[in-house]
Amino acid sequence: MAQTKYTELLKEVTDDKEPVEGLNFIRTIIEEHNRTGRFGGKVHTRFPPEPNGWLHIGHACSILMNHKIAMDYDGIFNFRFDDTNPITEEESYVNAMIEDIKWLGVYKEYENGSNNIFFGSGYFDQFYEYAEQLVEKGLAYVDDSSAEEIKEQRGSITELGTESPYRTRTIEENIDLFKRMKKCEFPNGSKVLRAKLDMSHPNLLMRDPIIYRILHTPHHNTGDKWCIYPMYDWAHGLEDSIEGITQSICTLEFEVHRPLYDWFLNQLTDEEGKPIFHPQQIEFAKVNLSHTVLGKRVMIQLVKDKHVNGWDDPRMLTIAGLRRRGVTAEALRKFMETIGVSKRDKIIDQSILDYCIREDLNNRCPRVMSVLKPLKVVITNYSAEKKEELEVQNHPTIKEMGARKIIFSKTLYIEQDDFMENPPEDYYRLSPGEKVRLKNAYIIKCENVIKDEKTGEISELHCSYEPRPADSASDDSKVRGTIHWISAENSIIAEVRLIDRLFLKENPMETEEGKVFADYINPQSLEITEALVESFLKDAKLGSRFQFERLGYFYLEPIDSTENNLVFNRIISLRDSWSKR
């Protein structure tokens, strides 16, 4: 488990300066920065989403990674809203994202009352001043060209660009025009501020990129104060610089933006004429997962077309969906560390996520018994009046989780799948004439199978039980199978939502002729059913998690559960090496 040894490894690094194994490429770069003293040994990371959608598991990995890197180096992590486009952004997304990062455990309040949540819009004044500086230096100009004309001027990947006719305006004229842009004297689209770079640069982004555009639109944070708004490339590096970000970690598609990021920062100076703080942008490959979709547009479609019940549907791999399903932030952290980070395009198999979720839940969930598809069992040699309380451990190995009492009586229910009339050789649950152990209770033997006269379906089983304690060491009737059960007296009915992966196809976006991604939706991704659960669960705390023995891990859903209708989400099934055969 190389990934978990970072802290140890890092200690070694600071002592002797030899390169270390097991560091991902980002940490290797950071080590190099620290070695050369580029940032004075400081590490300050950030995650800068635009508040125009929902955060998903890929974002979660990035957030958690940025956070962990900062923490491992005794550094700082900022969460920053990159809110420079008032047209697409909404306050509701801001609030949803804040909820997500609090749940992830990366929100921090400082002693002076501030916290680690920032807004790009908080720096609008500074952005403007820097832009004026660029104009004064003759490095930016106001362009009256239309959007179409600018597009035309930009050329293409095979054609060089052409210079705008407004490119040669004097500095004085540009300053005047830019100030008037700020004062809202011009309509939308009539003017932009452009950097004066190189219209024949092979990187299209360097062909006089737009810095400011006119948008007479109120902003969720700054209200009506501005009618010019900065473009991403202008704002982003400045935000990082202002906050003192050392490593600005982003996804691969921003790789081509790095030259621009660097160029802007290299042109600007502070009051003393010194270059402003210059973070290092580092790009990594975003996380893709098998059997799901994470693209914003595609997820929107799932919601709009009602394939799922909203953004926080537990089948969605949004942070809200994962949280509602019952997955813990700790499991996501484990997942992030397990998959690592690189620059290769990847589709991570969802079984790796499943594993991380199970591993996390295994040690934190008490066991209970529940029967999803009940089959009635009558114990023929047990008195109808008799009831027995049996004490059972809540966890097979963690004794601290304590014990509880369950009731054994004449009428019981077992899982339909745990009985087969004509079983294959290697089936070791219950079948006619065979014995099976009831978990935490007695061994029973199937004496008789009762069927519905009309339908021929099995309606109940008549079994005898062996009245000695089932855990008796002298038990020579060695039975191979142990199944779960619940007695009528000890059970209540609850709603159970069996959640499965949303798509049957590994990569739903790779569609076959004439199909769309939605055609690959798993029709059984959500199965709602009633189940018998141990009656003490009616007093369980909402939001608690349990392992229903042999079935999976379940989450007492806090939003939809009511006093008379408990709702349990199956977070993840147990690993099952039997049904795969």
Partner RNA sequence: AGCUCCGUAGUCUAGCGGUCAAGGAUACGGGACUCUGAAUCCUGAGACGGGUGUUCAAAUCACCCCGGGGCUACCA
* Contacts of RNA in 267-296 (CB under 7 A): 285, 290
Among 34, 84, 121, 525, binds RNA (CB under 7 A): 84
343 binds RNA (CB under 7 A): yes
Write out the DSSP string of 534-572.
EGGGGGSPTT-EEEETTTEEEEE-TTT-BTTB-EEEEEE
> Per the structure block, which two tokens stand in for 483?
């199944």
Chain positions 150 to 189 lying near RNA, rule: CB under 7 A, are 150-151, 154-158, 188-189
DSSP category for residue 575:
P
Segment interacting with RNA, rule: CB under 7 A, options 36-44, 196-204, 303-311, 532-540 = 196-204
242 binds RNA (CB under 7 A): no
437 binds RNA (CB under 7 A): yes
> Per the structure block, which two tokens stand in for 274?
């010194």
Segment interacting with RNA, rule: CB under 7 A, options 134-142, 163-171, 317-325, 475-483 = 475-483
Q: Count the residues of the shown chain that bind RNA, applying the rule CB under 7 A.
A: 99
Quote the least distance from Cβ 291 to RNA, whole Å: 11
Q: Which residues pair with 540 in a beta bridge?
A: none
Quote the least distance from Cβ 210 to RNA, whole Å: 4
What is residue 438's three-state secondary structure? Answer: strand
574 binds RNA (CB under 7 A): yes
18 binds RNA (CB under 7 A): no
Quote the least distance from Cβ 565 to RNA, whole Å: 25
Chain positions 407 to 436 lying near RNA, rule: CB under 7 A, are 426-429
| Cβ distance to RNA smaller for residue 75 or 86 | 86
Quote the least distance from Cβ 243 to RNA, whole Å: 15
Among 78, 85, 246, 247, binds RNA (CB under 7 A): 85
Binding to RNA by CB under 7 A, coded x per residue (else -) over 444-463, reads: --------------------
| Cβ distance to RNA smaller for residue 290 or 511 | 290
Chain positions 26 to 45 lying near RNA, rule: CB under 7 A, are 28
> Nearest CA to 448 among 474, 488, 419, 426?
419
> Per the structure block, which two tokens stand in for 219?
């902003």
Name the strands in the sheet holding 117-119, side by side, starting at the edge strand that comes first in the sequence: 44-47, 76-81, 117-119
| Cβ distance to RNA smaller for residue 324 or 382 | 382
333 binds RNA (CB under 7 A): no
> Nearest CA to 260 among 285, 284, 235?
235
Long-range contacts of 264-273 (CB under 8 A, 24+ apart): 264/195, 264/233, 264/234, 264/237, 264/238, 265/237, 265/238, 265/241, 267/134, 267/137, 267/139, 268/130, 268/133, 268/134, 268/238, 269/133
> Nearest CA to 568 among 239, 314, 242?
314
238 binds RNA (CB under 7 A): no
Chain positions 348 to 387 lying near RNA, rule: CB under 7 A, are 348-349, 351-352, 354-355, 358-359, 362, 367
Angstrom distance (rounded) from CA 416 to CA 541: 29
Which residue type occupies 266? N
Quote the least distance from Cβ 19 to RNA, whole Å: 5
> Per the structure block, which two tokens stand in for 147?
């959007």
| Cβ distance to RNA smaller for residue 301 or 362 | 362
Contact 440, 514 (CB under 8 A): no
193 binds RNA (CB under 7 A): no
468 binds RNA (CB under 7 A): no
Angstrom distance (rounded) from CA 185 to CA 176: 11
| Cβ distance to RNA smaller for residue 135 or 142 | 142
97 binds RNA (CB under 7 A): no
Quote the least distance from Cβ 274 to RNA, whole Å: 28
Binding to RNA by CB under 7 A, coded x per residue (else -) over 213-232, reads: xx--------------xxxx
Which residue type occupies 515? K
> Nearest CA to 350 among 290, 294, 304, 399?
290
Among 182, 219, 315, 550, binds RNA (CB under 7 A): 550
Angstrom distance (rounded) from CA 438 to CA 482: 6
| Cβ distance to RNA smaller for residue 96 or 150 | 150
| Cβ distance to RNA smaller for residue 140 or 441 | 441
Pairing of the two strands 370-371 and 367-368: unpaired
Chain positions 515 to 544 lying near RNA, rule: CB under 7 A, are none
Quote the least distance from Cβ 409 to RNA, whole Å: 17
> Nearest CA to 570 among 485, 580, 579, 550?
550
Chain positions 498 to 517 lying near RNA, rule: CB under 7 A, are none
Describe the chain by its helix, strand, coil percentages, rounded to 5.
30, 25, 45
> Nearest CA to 266 among 132, 139, 379?
139
Cα 102-108-109 angle, rounded to 5 deg: 120
Among 38, 179, 376, 395, binds RNA (CB under 7 A): 395
What's the alpha-carbon Rg for the chain, to the nearest Å?
31
Q: Which residues pair with 479 in a beta bridge?
A: none
Among 117, 199, 210, 276, binds RNA (CB under 7 A): 210
Segment interacting with RNA, rule: CB under 7 A, options 111-119, 310-318, 346-354, 522-530 = 346-354
| Cβ distance to RNA smaller for residue 482 or 569 | 482
